[in-house]
Amino acid sequence: MPAVVVFVAVIAIFALAYRFYSTYLAEKVYALDPDFVTPAHEFEDGVDYVPTNRHVLFGHHFTSIAGAAPIVGPAIAVVWGWLPALLWIVAGTVFAAGVHDTGSLVVSVRNKATNIGTLAQDVINPRSRTLFLAIIFFLLTLVNAVFAIVIGTLFVGNPEAVIPITLEIPLAIFIGQYIRRTNSSALVPSIAGVIVLYAMILVGMAYPIDITGIAEGLGMSARTLWILLLFIYGWIASRIPVWVLLQPRDYINSHQLFIALGVIFLGVLIGMDTIAAPAFNSVGGARNWFPFLFVTIACGAVSGFHSLVSSGTTSKQLDKDTDARYIGYMGSLGEGSLALGAVLATTAGIGIVGLNWGEQYADFGTASETALGNFVQGVAGFASNIGIPISYGTVFAAVVVISFAATTLDTGIRLQRYIIQEIGEIVDSRTLSQNLNLATTLAVVFPLGLALAPAGGDGDTLAFGRLWTLFGTTNQLTAGLALAVIAVWVTRNGRNAMAQIVPLTFLLFMTCWALFINLREFVANRDWLLAPLDLAIFVLAGWLIVEAVLAIRGARADRTAPVESPAEK
Amino acid sequence: MTADGPQHRILLVREWDSQTSGSGCCGRLGGEDCDVGHPDTFAHSRSLMEAMGAVYRALRAELPRRTVDITVVDPRNMVWLVPSILRDGRRRGMGPGELWRQLTGGVRNGAIVVDGRALFAHDYENTDDAVDAVLRELATAS
């Protein structure tokens, strides 16, 4: 199958979905009203609440939701063949992510731009906010663990990327300081930053950094040493102000996102390459696509974290109620397009560089080990179609993924520290809530333990594939909670909530099933680190099901007296 | 702007307090009123935002919505910002050299761009001065 056919077909489906399904959602389900006074107008203050041009807000929203996860999930999931992965990305994006992201935005806007956690408390019940925070706690723990592994794996496989990625840190700090201290243009330094970063790839290629010798001297693998170093970096990066490193690095990353998408899709259009993977693939390693596909691709099909963005800043800046369709739904389609790029890179792109797909995806364990390298090689293949040497394109792709993942890691550790501090406040421990060093250390120790946990069963040294699917389950639970909130709101307003209830039921069913199978495996393998974690997430899933069923039933009973929002009850 | 909509466009280029790209889909920092995060995290950016916010409110009070469009833009949003400045500048008949000067000034963190002409960057100690300069520029552009 030519990759370009798949590309054109998926983009055509996305266009039709936007034209028809998003219109149905906007008109019949969310009843968007052009005359509704949005919080951006009602509370307009020029700072947080600002009516914003929809194209400007879309740019902000899309760059806020796009990241490394829609790349990693599909790169693993094509182990079941390209078709199941692609079908879930398309169906998930159209029928789950679009509904979820647009709905989160609409419900937030109709409730004075309240965030999703508070909405859960208001729309469902106060217990739901505790449930929300608990899911976020587990989600962040898994995020930090898996992205440390992602970066460690890419550093080991691409030692040429170490120098550019390392130098990106002082480069970003310099750009941030330069912009602030000289009042100069952000355009020239940030583009110069990207050019310098990509020039550093040449230096990295000349001087690859391989720490295997040092690691062996310390009695560990190179990846383990990288993971340890990354958490030390994460500890420091999460303690310094965001404007020193995080924000200026986003200047560079925002350019990289569009450059990477451009390279992938231009490569597909110019190269006319054929997909090397089978449409369906039987997988060894006791992993069935049903239900694991649906928790392996989370971001890229549907991601609960998007509800935080939609109900965070985006809802405060929505100019017109009707703009929610464009920003929320189109943002989801953008994320789905990134996942499509990952599928094409790992199934068609790797053929260009001469990799044997069957060997790279021999079983689930192999797939989870090689997935990131496959994506990197695939992008390098597409880059070669537009005249970029494969050796350079390989490091370029590794730099893009590591840049995104590194930002996620230090942001995730910082967020985890906040949650630990909040827990300290709840249990009235001033030491925990006010000692930043202690809170940050705790935020590092637990994901570090998970990242280094032995995998058990298949003899692998790390549990990346299993950790990734656990990450997927918690991400889907977050999406499930947001969908439940939206469904209750839609039902209370006397409209048909099937557009939310169907993906909600599907996600919770698949998530619980995957958690149950995982739990059996962990117990059988005597994995006493992951088994309790899985059990805890399973309990949260059960709790969410109970709350969702009770809330939707309650909302149906209340239908006789529909209200616009809880605030108006 | 079009004949049907506002005749003038003012762009306020300032930091947004929230996390943007990179951490995206699975990690996000909150700003004010968010579930996770802390307002102090963005204190540095917020001081710039709040100074620009005062200019925004003053301009909004001074200028009717039907004739003047005011848009707040993140300086990282180059995909939208750069074409917008160029389009507005071309509409005023600027040559390539002048367009480049306005572009580099207009994408500064803290710039105020009136119909393609960049006026300020960063310093809003006196809101009235900024508003007066914008009003003068609007009078010139009309």
Q: In this complex, is the C-beta atom of B121 within 8 Å of any C-beta atom belonging to chain A?
A: yes
Using the structure block, give the residue that is written with the tokens 């790390």: A462
Structure tokens at B17: 């307090």
The phi, psi pair for A318, rounded to 5°, reads -70, 120
Q: Is B40 on the interface with A (CB under 8 A)?
A: no
- Cβ atoms within 10 A of the Cβ of A236, count? 13
Exposure string over A269-303, b if 16+ CB within 10 A, otherwise e: eebebebbbbeebebebebebebbbbbbbbbbbbb
DSSP-assigned letter for residue A275: P
- Higher pLDDT among residues A209 and A1, named by residue: A209
Report pLDDT for A458.
Answer: 47
Per-residue pLDDT, B19 = 61
Q: Are strands B68-73 and B8-13 parallel, antiparallel or unpaired?
A: parallel
The mean pLDDT value of chain A amounts to: 91
How close A53 gets to chain B, by Cα (Å)? 6
Burial of A543 (0-12, 13-18, 19+ CB in 10 A): middle
3-state secondary structure of A38: coil
Cβ pair A237, A249 in contact under 8 A: no
A contact residues 297-316, partner B, Cβ 8 Å cutoff: 299, 303, 305-306, 308-309, 312-313
> Is the per-residue pLDDT at A273 higher than 80?
yes
Mutate to test the interface with B, among A37, A43, A44, A47 (most CBs of B within 10 A): A47
User: How large a percentage of chain A has pLDDT more than 70?
Assistant: 95
A60 touches chain B (CB under 8 A): yes
Question: Across residues A23-31, what is the average pLDDT?
Answer: 98
- Interface check for B32 against chain A (CB to CB < 8 A): the answer is yes
- pLDDT of A231 over the 70 cut: yes
Of B16, B20, B26, the CB nearest to A143: B26
Question: Which of A69, A243, A414 lies closest to B25 in CB terms?
Answer: A69
pLDDT at A567 > cutoff 60: no
CA-nearest of A382, A530, A481, A549 to A118 is A481
Contacts of B54-57 spanning 24+ positions with Cβ under 8 A = B54/A46, B54/B124, B54/B127, B55/A46, B55/B12, B55/B112, B55/B124, B55/B127, B55/B130, B55/B131, B56/A46, B56/A47, B56/A50, B56/B12, B57/A45, B57/A46
ipTM value = 0.92
Question: How far does chain B reach from its first CA to its final CA, in angstroms?
Answer: 12
pLDDT tens figures, B56-108: 999 999 999 899 999 999 888 888 999 999 999 999 999 999 999 999 889 88
Using an 8 Å CB-CB cutoff, list chain A residues near B46: 47
A256-265 confidence digits (pLDDT tens): 988 999 999 9
